Amino acid sequence: MDLLKSMKISSSGLRANLKRTEAINSNIANAQTTRTAEGGPYRRKQVVFGSEPARDSFSEVLEGEIDAQAQTVHATEVISDNKPPILKYDPTHPDANKDGYVAMPNINVMVEMADLLTAQRAYEANLKSLKVTKSMAQKALELGR
């Protein structure tokens, strides 16, 4: 039971970091997008992580076992940045307003790349954890062989 729960926790970490990578990729790809469905330039997306106690089944939820246990992680929300867009002077742009300024997304590609590296490291760490847990379970299966 304990090892399978560990694997569930690791996989939740993988999933959360994957969501974070998706958001970062979206930011990088849309760094120059001035036109979106909601109107206005693209807004930088950010993922917020939250913890939740690792639950095996609904019965555990009913028992209310919460305190200080192993926690799974969730990408709880994807929020859009509220910072104002950068105004760039470019009168020839089709989306320029009457003063000749274009509203560009407030995305710094360098920052996004750094975040991408962080997400990748976290993903690898979770993957390594998963492999270790799997190896421990396999070793236990060999008992008595």
The H-assigned helical ranges of the chain are 2-29, 58-63, 109-141
Distance CA 145, CA 128 (A): 27
Stretch that binds other proteins, among 32-40, 58-66, 100-108, 121-129 (CB under 8 A): 121-129
Instruction: Choose between 107 and 122: whose C-beta lies nearer to other proteins.
Output: 122
Residue 29 makes contact with other proteins by CB under 8 A: no
Break the chain down into helix, strand, coil percent, rounded to 5.
45, 20, 35
Residue 3 makes contact with other proteins by CB under 8 A: yes
- The CA–CA distances, whole Å, from 71 to 54, 55, 105, 107, 124 equal 5, 9, 35, 32, 19
Per CB under 8 A, the list member of 34, 41, 107, 126 interacting with other proteins is 126
Q: Please state the φ and ψ torsions of residue 103, each to the nearest 5 degrees.
A: -85, 110
Residue 10 makes contact with other proteins by CB under 8 A: yes
Shortest Cβ 90–other proteins spacing (Å): 36
Asked if residues 87 and 106 have their Cβ atoms less than 8 Å apart, the reply is: no
Residue 142 makes contact with other proteins by CB under 8 A: yes
Residues that bind other proteins (CB under 8 A): 2-3, 5-6, 9-10, 12-13, 16, 49-51, 54, 68-73, 118, 121-122, 125-126, 128-129, 132-133, 135-136, 139-140, 142-145
